[in-house]
Structure 1
Amino acid sequence: MFKTVKGFALVLSDENELKPSQRIKRIEKTLPELKPGQVLVKMLATPVNPSDLMYLLGKYGLAAQDGAFVGFEGCGIVVEANAGLYGRWLKGKRVALSAQPGIDGVWAEYAITKINFCLPVRKELSDDQAATIIVNPCTSVCLVERAIALGSKAIVINAGASQVGKGVIRYAKLKGIKTIATVRSEANVEVLQALGADCVLLTSHENFDESLKHWAKKLNAKVLLDAVAANDTPRVLKAMPNSSTAIVYGRLTETHDALGGLFSVADVIFRDIKVEGFWLAKYIGDASVLQVLSLSSKVQKLFAQDVFKTDIYASVGFDDFSEALDHYAKHKSDGKVILMPNN
């Protein structure tokens, strides 16, 4: 179908001490024929997200495939389509895209994905910003709107300095929802306050639990947006009012237990505490084209209004990617690393 394509593929390893750059290798492979409903995209930019790092460690919800291209989202030009009228309309257009679960990722010169996972992007968005509009901003919007649907007037966000956390703070403020953000670094407290968070708490502070309980009660925060999981889920829920809900959308805690989590059985039984999950790939995969386009339009409008903006640390080519990847793994709050595969 197509010429040989260069990209970064996963190297499976049981050694937990390996750096992210040691878990990938640069390879060439020939992509397969497009199946019905798929498109071929020439990649312009593709970021590194925490979910990519967890996948490299074998700690993501999808089984790691040795030798498969890595990368969950990006931006590119649709060059071929086997997807009916909509596919023909998309051909030649710039799109944001997410990888189709179970096949190659998008850290490559060209990528194949399902047409549902492609969103036409506005001309005013740069390639690196367009490459980041799906995983984090769409998740932020969906999480806040789920919290509103649950009737909560305020939200607790752990990993508040993450790109999703910052997006939640901005979008929640726009929707009139109060936010309580928790962070591990004191340097992020003022940053999130400047973004509009109503309360920012340092998890290492000796009075953290008491402060969180005070603010959760004061603001009536009954939804936790949980990207940390493990011990953080029961700890935060313990400080929240009865009938609160944790929406778990990630697991930043790095342990040997890939997907395990913890919650208080007593809280679930006696305090009506609920735990539910959110995975954007499933949300988009289950949605109609019109629903996906509506979400895309909403998110891109927020970018155009400067409500959303992704912090970028570096945009690099293949040669400099490994070093930048390791930097991001240690310093996520510095901003995204963007791979420009065709530069």
Structure 2
Amino acid sequence: MATPVINIGFSLNLIDDLEAPLSDRISLIEKPIPNLKPGEVLVKMLSAPINPSDLVYLMGKYGLPPVDGAFVGFEGCGIVVAANAGLYGKWLSGKRVALSATPGKDGVWAQYAITKANYCLPVRKEISDEQASTIIVNPCTSVCLVERAIELGAKAIVINAAASQVGKGVIRYAKMQGVKTIATVRSQANVDVLKKLGADKVILTSTESFQSELKQASKKLKATVLLDAVADVDTPKTMSCMPSGSTGIVYGRLTETQDPIGGQFSVADVIFKNQKIEGFWLATYIGNAKPWQVLSLSKKVQKLFAEGIFQTDIYGQFSFADFPKALEHYAVHKSDGKVILTPHA
């Protein structure tokens, strides 16, 4: 097909008002498609989800500084329609891929996306466009977090915000690896869901007995790794219930704090209980990994999807016209499932 010259998508509006609706932070714009730089490919987008990291980015709190006027959206699925990336780019041409946006560049909530060729992973035919659009950020994070916990010698893992897609992926994959899981959630509705998924213990954070239950479960199951997507006061509160020598792996910040850093930890527990805190960001992992390591991770995750072990919950698919309203829904009801943009609908 002829290479398109115009692209339509959602760009970022920089707004200082922290109370402004998320839908006010994006605008549908039209702009020319630039020439591909060496190492880049052009992808016709088929599907793109909203992730919590997208929401944080829209609010200007993400690790990457927001770029006014740039398209937003961190991951998706599409077909490579042009390439300037050597033999790998030629091999990718015409293939359906899962892709990540190049950090600091245009995102993928658009009809077309430009990204680096090594941020594209060919997708198995058994996986739908909607599921394929979600296989990088959350499932790859779930697998990496569990494997890091195993490296740290954990027999059990504590997961906060466990009803998230990453949390559900962790529960599924940890069970496969023989690692027990303690899930903490805010809503009673998610308790039975996570138990059926395979969590060994599910605890409501809203109960008065939360900390005593977590302390007892952590001791019984020997839970020495926390997978923390909330940050702020949740990190020290949860870690205080875990054994000496435990490690907290912070991979997100769902807290509503306005603090630009948004993280806290207990100095006393670090000193006297020898607890440690480390971070995980998939972009850093992929950036530092060898190509064979990224492909191996992709094959592992896609196999889990193809076998039905991993499955992303989908709330609905939306055109450009309906997407802003769906964005607001997702911001409040993340556990309902992913909101998917279909830019050519």
Task: Give the TM-score category using the shorter length.
Answer: over 0.9
Q: Which amino acid aligns with 1:298?
A: K
SS of residue paired to 1:60:
coil
> Does the 8 Å CA contact 1:128/1:338 hold for their aligned counterparts?
yes
Structure 1 residue aligned with 2:212: 210
Gaps of 5+ in 2: none
1:258: how far off?
2.6
Match of 2:334 among 313, 332, 335: 332
1:1-343 correspondence runs (5 A): 2-343=4-345
Moved >6 Å (runs of 4+): none
How far apart are the structure 1 equivalents of 2:321 and 2:239?
44
> Does the 8 Å CA contact 1:7/1:69 hold for their aligned counterparts?
yes
Q: Which amino acid aligns with 1:147?
A: A
Offset from partner CA, 1:225-248 (integer Å, 9 cap, x none): 000000000001000000000000
1:286: how far off?
1.7
How far apart are the structure 1 equivalents of 2:290 and 2:73?
24
How far apart are the structure 1 equivalents of 2:223 and 2:257?
29
Q: Which amino acid aligns with 1:165?
A: G
Offset from partner CA, 1:262-288 (integer Å, 9 cap, x none): 001111112110000000011112222
Which sits farther off after the overlay, 23-32 or 212-221? 23-32
1:2: how far off?
4.7
SS of residue paired to 1:69:
coil
> Does the 8 Å CA contact 2:232/2:257 hold for their aligned counterparts?
no
Gaps of 5+ in 1: none
> Does the 8 Å CA contact 1:116/1:285 hold for their aligned counterparts?
no
Q: Which amino acid aligns with 1:218?
A: K
* Overall identity of the aligned pairs, in %: 70
The count of corresponding residues between Structure 1 and Structure 2 is 343
How far apart are the structure 1 equivalents of 2:261 and 2:137?
19
> Does the 8 Å CA contact 1:60/1:259 hold for their aligned counterparts?
no
User: TM-score w.r.t. structure 2 length?
Assistant: 0.98
> Does the 8 Å CA contact 1:5/1:29 hold for their aligned counterparts?
yes
1:101: how far off?
0.2
1:87: how far off?
1.0
SS of residue paired to 2:127:
coil
Q: CA RMSD in A?
A: 0.9
> Does the 8 Å CA contact 2:248/2:277 hold for their aligned counterparts?
yes
> Does the 8 Å CA contact 1:60/1:258 hold for their aligned counterparts?
no
How far apart are the structure 2 equivalents of 1:285 and 1:32?
24
SS of residue paired to 2:254:
coil
